[in-house]
Amino acid sequence: MPGGRRIAAVTDAHFDVAAGECLALIGESGCGKSVLASALLGLLPANARTAGEARLGDLDLLAADERTLARTVRGRLIGLVPQSPAAHLTPVRTVRSHLRETVAALTGTRGRAALRAAVEAAAARAAFPADHLDRHPHQLSGGLAQRAATALALVGDAPLLLADEPTTGLDRDLVDHTVDELRRHVDTGRRSLLVITHDLAAAERIADRVAVMYAGRIVELADAKAFFGTPGPRHPYSRGLLQALPDRAFAPIPGMPPELGSLPEGCAFAPRCDRATDACTALPPLADGIACHHPRLPEDLRA
């Protein structure tokens, strides 16, 4: 950009998600979660640059051209469950109309009767009630809009579901219900699910593994049971995130995340970290699921 500068929104992100597995990507606002999701879908702004590879089967998503992304990736290889589903749906069209178009485009179903049946089957897969199919997005509750969006995401039988903040704005019961539904589609379809969320309770409920991001880097990759339960997180930032929860210590992490354009030398968390030493002026690599020079060890994990 003329007069502008480049920032590294996501750096050295290495992870995999297996079929039948859910990986939750968590971290504070601005840490790079949505940029990572957009990179997988080929939806970064035109002036963005990527490096490395993101394999889905034989395809490298980062190297795919727009035609491949439009024809074979979006909807077919990756089903996107969007944030704010009501806003994602076209306000002047009914849910049936959305589903009909997507079913026709992704499955090739033709003919009124066949399309009608396929649309109703698609709605049923996401537990969207058939008698609400002729409603417009503004006539749906948050939960039903979420189910409509999930139904659309499932039409193409994509092996990867990507859900970016799927529970924003929902009350607790609906959050639980939404994540349970998403989990069901992973379990029954043997799909992979990458769920991006601020909501740690939702992540605990749905995820098999957790990736914690800070300032554009994954700082911890852990088994969800161990992370949320015993022995708990090993990275000081991850621990801070959990300790900030109202049902834990309710103690916020001091300070603010850094500007991506002016990261400190070495570990970006150092200015906020009570374990920082001189060693932390060198960037800690992600090794054995943790990027920290002084991770919490088994003996102090319950402290």
Residues that bind ligand ATP (CB under 6 A): 9, 27, 29-35, 45, 198, 260
Q: Is residue 253 at the binding interface for ligand SF4, with CB under 6 A as the rule?
A: no
- Between CA 216 and CA 7 the distance in angstroms is 10
- 280 is a contact residue toward ligand SF4 (CB under 6 A): yes
φ, ψ for residue 137, nearest 5 deg = -50, -40
Among the listed residues 158, 267, 289, 296, the single contact to ligand SF4 using CB under 6 A: 267
Compute φ and ψ for 95, nearest 5 degrees: -65, -40
276 touches ligand SF4 by CB under 6 A: yes
Residue 236: which of Mg ion, ligand ATP, ligand SF4, none does it interact with, CB under 5 to 8 A by kind?
ligand SF4
Which position among 200, 270, 289, 296 is part of the footprint of ligand SF4 (CB under 6 A)? 270
Q: Which does 31 bind (CB under 5 to 8 A by kind): Mg ion, ligand SF4, ligand ATP, none?
A: ligand ATP
Using rule CB under 6 A, residue 284 touches ligand SF4: yes
Residue 273 C-beta: closest distance to ligand SF4, Å: 3
Picked from ligand ATP, ligand SF4, Mg ion, none, the partner binding residue 116 (CB below 5 to 8 A depending on kind) is none
34 near Mg ion, rule: CB under 5 A: yes
Query: Cβ of residue 218: shortest distance to ligand SF4, in angstroms?
Result: 13
Q: How far apart are alpha carbons 83 and 269 in whole angstroms?
A: 28
Binding residues (CB under 5 A) for Mg ion: these are 33-34
- Residues near ligand SF4 (CB under 6 A): 236-237, 267, 269-270, 273, 275-276, 280, 284, 292-294
